[in-house]
């Protein structure tokens, strides 16, 4: 049986949530965020040590929490129904968490991107068919442990992943589930691609065959394709006129359907790469990152899901053409109208924020003329407007509820 507990939220100076220190009256614990930065993780250990220390010196667990709640970075003491709720909170992955992983990637135009593309394109079926060595009995009677035999071209891809920065200590892979290969060859969110690359490459050292498994189930392909699509999109916004080594990587993702749910193919990111070749101030020749159509405008569309303590944020960046932009707006906004209200924070903040930002973004998209032909394959199908999608009207439920609360408060107060 779970019991209510008290906790404080610990926040780093840059605003990143480190974790939640709690007590049930007898014990003190810390739930840290699996998606946090390595710096926040270390800070969490330091908080935890100091709190345990204070407890050992005789302060009661409740006293420790009260004392530390006055420190900079700590919230006031709050009550939670049980530990599971805190663990749920700690599972929230924020856009800042995603951005931190993107910041680890080499700037577009860095030679490591070309190396990744070339190494990957050079893979043959034999390279992908990883065999296992070992298992033989030596003359002394010892049996050698089986081990995967990776070809040199495959190892080159793995090295290239490390060199573009996709294998990073900023993803604590041991504390997170292994990302799965997306179905039917879709692209992954680029932050998820970094998570997967890190988990696969680092995981191999602890569990041989992890890379072989990722090759087999398509995860490695999805990781490389997602990273390359991201780099290509970055290149097209950051350095359109340059002699453009950035354009050497460009697999065209096959978009076929409208994104009815926000897990649609995405290679999200934010802004041009910090140290990309100078854009020379000229307006970039914006081309839609989804269909290659022109003109396009650089706006992002977002979707939000809040269910009790589970929050999920999705974002797809531009540039987008009028057609793809409308499709993204309609898909993401309808999704948010349906799913974006069912946690306290979502109801008061994230749901609204997401809808308003999408409305602002779509206003810019609607000013564009119809795009020219789609050059890189599929163009999103905008489908029917949001107000003709039944799911959007789910939003009336929380709205009516809030209204009824207000009415009750007003009439109750005389």
Would you call the peptide bond into 295 cis, given omega within 30 degrees of 0 as the criterion? yes
Q: H or E element: which one contains 122?
A: none
Q: How far is the CB of 309 from Zn ion (least distance, A)?
A: 36
CB of 288 to Zn ion, least distance (A): 3
The nearer residue to Zn ion, 232 or 324, going by C-beta atoms, is 324
Choice between 85 and 288, CB closer to Zn ion: 288
Nearest approach, Cβ of 279 to Zn ion (angstroms)?
Answer: 22
Nearer to Zn ion, 128 or 364 (CB): 364
State which residue, 265 or 340, has the beta carbon closest to Zn ion: 265
DSSP letter for each residue of 345-369: HIIIIIHHHHHHHHHHHHHHHHTSP
Q: How far apart are alpha carbons 296 and 299 in whole angstroms?
A: 9
The nearest distance, CB 371 to Zn ion, in angstroms, is 6
Give the residue carrying structure tokens 């946090």: 36
Q: Which is nearer to Zn ion, 272 or 319 (CB)?
A: 319
Nearest to 24 by CA among 69, 52, 62: 62
Minimal distance in Å, beta carbon 295 to Zn ion?
A: 10
Q: Which two tokens stand for residue 154?
A: 């495959």
To Zn ion, the closest distance from the beta carbon of 298 in angstroms equals: 13
User: Residue 201 or residue 299: which is nearer to Zn ion going by CB?
Assistant: 299
Minimum CB distance to Zn ion, residue 303 (Å): 18
User: 263, exposed or middle or buried, with CB in 10 Å at 0-12, 13-18, 19+?
Assistant: middle
Q: Which is nearer to Zn ion, 291 or 368 (CB)?
A: 291
Token pair belonging to 139? 């003359």
Residues 294 and 287 sit within 8 Å (Cβ to Cβ): yes
Question: Which residues contact Zn ion (rule: CB under 5 A)?
Answer: 288, 290-291, 293, 321, 324
Is the omega angle on the peptide bond into residue 319 within 30 degrees of 0, that is, cis? Answer: yes
We find the least distance from the C-beta atom of residue 400 to Zn ion, in angstroms, to be 37
CB atoms near residue 86 (< 10 Å): 23
Contact 37, 170 (CB under 8 A): yes
- Rounded-to-integer distance, Cα 190 and Cα 228, Å: 9
| 6 or 290: CB nearest Zn ion | 290
Rg value, the chain, Cα:
25
Alpha helices, DSSP H, located in 174-278: 190-206, 210-216, 219-238
């Amino acid at each position: 049986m779970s019991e209510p507990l008290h906790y404080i939220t610990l926040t780093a100076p840059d605003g990143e949530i480190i974790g939640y220190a709690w007590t049930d009256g007898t014990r003190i614990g810390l739930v840290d965020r699996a998606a946090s930065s390595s710096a926040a993780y270390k800070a969490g250990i330091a908080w935890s040590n100091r709190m345990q220390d204070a407890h050992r010196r005789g302060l009661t667990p409740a006293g420790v929490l009260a004392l530390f709640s006055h420190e900079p970075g700590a919230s006031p003491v709050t009550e939670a129904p049980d530990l599971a709720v805190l663990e749920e909170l700690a599972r929230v992955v924020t856009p800042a968490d995603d951005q931190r992983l993107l910041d680890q990637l080499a700037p577009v135009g860095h030679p490591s991107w070309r190396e990744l593309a070339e190494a990957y394109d050079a893979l043959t079926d034999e390279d992908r068919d990883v065999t296992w060595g070992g298992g033989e009995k030596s003359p002394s009677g010892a049996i050698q442990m089986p081990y995967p035999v990776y070809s040199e071209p495959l190892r080159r891809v793995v090295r290239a992943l490390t060199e573009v920065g996709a294998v990073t200590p900023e993803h604590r892979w041991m504390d997170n589930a292994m990302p799965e290969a997306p179905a039917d060859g879709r692209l992954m969110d680029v932050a998820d691609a970094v998570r997967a690359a890190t988990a696969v490459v680092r995981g191999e050292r602890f569990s041989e065959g992890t890379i072989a498994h990722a090759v087999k189930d398509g995860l490695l392909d999805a990781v490389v394709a997602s990273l390359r699509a991201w780099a290509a999109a970055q290149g097209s916004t950051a350095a359109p006129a340059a002699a453009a080594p950035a354009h050497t990587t460009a697999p065209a993702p096959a978009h076929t359907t409208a994104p009815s749910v926000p897990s649609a193919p995405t290679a999200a990111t934010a802004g041009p790469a910090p140290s990309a070749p100078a854009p020379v101030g000229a307006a970039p020749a914006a081309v839609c990152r989804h269909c290659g159509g022109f003109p396009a405008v650089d706006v992002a569309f977002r979707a939000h899901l809040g269910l009790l303590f589970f929050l999920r944020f999705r974002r797809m960046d531009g540039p987008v053409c009028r057609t793809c932009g409308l499709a993204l707006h309609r898909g993401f906004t309808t999704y948010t109208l349906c799913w974006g209200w069912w946690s306290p924070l979502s109801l008061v903040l994230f749901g609204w924020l997401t809808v308003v930002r999408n409305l602002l973004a779509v206003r810019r998209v609607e000013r564009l003329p119809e795009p020219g032909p789609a050059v890189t394959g599929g163009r999103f199908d905008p489908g029917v407007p949001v107000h003709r999608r039944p799911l959007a009207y789910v939003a009336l439920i929380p709205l009516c509820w809030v209204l009824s609360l207000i009415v009750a408060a007003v009439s109750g107060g005389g």
